[in-house]
Chain A
Amino acid sequence: MAGTKDASLIERCRAGERDAFRVLFEVYGDRVYSMALYFSGDEASAKDITQEVFLKLFTKIHTFEGSALFQTWLYRLVVNVCMDEHRKHKRFVPFETVSEVEIMGSEESLENTHLKAEICSSVRIAVARLRPKLRLPVLLRYVDELSYTEIATVLGCSTGTVASRLNRAHQTLARNLSHLADRAGLGR
């Protein structure tokens, strides 16, 4: 969303316009929910995290000063809520696996569609099992499409740290999902 559009929408939210809240949710809801889903690994927690993020956003939007990009402010909120949820539940055994998400592949063969679904499911589970320090940069990069610099701003660390964590995350994913390498044509 362009900066000026963000600014106008935020002003309308500050003024208490319910429609503006709805638009904000429609624009950012997918990103927030996806991050919550892949971070927590289960839909119930993802719903809770998403609702908490937007409730906090709506009640605290008056504190957004405009000195940073709105997106950065929003993603920091998402990261904080995800970590709070993680700390609250880290004594729970992660029983639940992430449920299947429908892969839309109308042009592809059935076999490719199934293979893609299997890879997506395995990747989601593998990402959910990464340590939070590695999981967050992965999600900010691949779900929210942030640059290393933007990720560093959200997480409050250096770009070198982001690069290092993403490096380790990529290696862990490759090792844990090596069984998919041949089938997915990823090569060795």
Chain B
Amino acid sequence: MFARHVTKHLSAYYQGEVSDQEAKRIAKHLEQCPRCKAQCDEIKRGIILAEHLSRVSPPSSVWSELETALQLGESAPRLAERTTPREKRLPHSMLVPASVIFIGLVAATVGYFALHTQTAQTQVNLDKFLGAIETHPKDMYGLLSDAPAGFEDADRWTALAAAGIEKQPAESPLEGYQLAHHRLKVVDRQQAVQLVYVKETRVFSVFVAPRSSQFSFGKRDIKDAQFDGVACRQVDCPRTSTLWFGAGEFNCVLVTKSKDLGELVAIVHYFVSAHQKRSQQ
């Protein structure tokens, strides 16, 4: 005769969340069933471990930022209250200065976008590079090796020097990988570099640009992260680890299929240590 096993009820039993009748049934069963008895020790250990979770107070900045947000929210309705339906039509005497303001705003907007477009052209734009990977994830080997627009094959030494890693003793941040492609793009009279490292069917790409150049990633989410003492930003690109980090005079973007933390740390440290040494010279 098989008794009903009680493993599913053990947490509830030990935490006093079963009826008295049920508790008696479970206790009696545990005396006789070695299988359930073995599981109950495991459950008890899990409960004791979970009891180590304790409440943590938020940093003081959480409230102060909330308060600021609340104040900003409160000021908006007050602004709306000042504009009453009666004031929809401007009085005649205000038409000339209003039109001057309007023309000024239009001019400022046009100027802003012109400047912004010009600034955008000096950025190292990886939006399409990442977009291609998102669209065709099965061809990651080819796509990660590809050159984004404007990047041309360059002399190896020139590329390494432009990337600030010409003095690194190891050719590659990871064992077994070789530097397969080295490309340059001139961005606002400065050089951005793409280095492609390959090992059999594995590949990763590292972009290096001077600090004054900006990387752009389209509308992708970017999240601050920190690991192994290095602050970096993680860019949302599916099926890749895309990390933006920097040290000294350079900032870098790593794009790889790998999610291996050890590999990612090794690659970041390879570039960061080279750039730090360079800035100390």
Contact = CB atoms under 8 A, between A and B. Distances in A.
Interface of A: 18, 21-22, 25, 29-34, 37-38, 43-44, 46-47, 50-51, 54-55, 58-59, 88-89, 91-93, 95-96, 101, 116, 119-120, 123-124, 126-127, 138-139, 141-143, 147-148, 159, 163-164, 166-167, 169-175, 177, 180-181, 184, 186-188
19 contacts: A29-B58, A30-B55, A50-B58, A55-B66, A91-B236, A95-B226, A95-B264, A124-B53, A127-B53, A138-B50, A138-B53, A141-B15, A166-B12, A167-B7, A170-B11, A170-B42, A174-B43, A174-B45, A175-B42
Dominant secondary structure at the A interface: helix
A167 B10 contact: yes
Q: Is the interface of B mostly helix, strand, loop or mixed?
A: helix
A138 B59 CA distance: 23
A91 B223 CA distance: 11
B167 interface: no
Interface of B: 7-12, 15, 17, 39, 41-43, 45-59, 61-63, 65-67, 69-70, 73, 221, 223-227, 234, 236-238, 241, 259, 261, 264
Contacts of A124: 53
A105 to B, nearest CB: 12
A184 B9 CA distance: 25
3 nearest A-B residue pairs (beta carbon): A170-B46, A33-B58, A174-B46
B49 A186 contact: yes
A96 B70 contact: no
Contacts of A184: 48-49
A59 B73 contact: yes
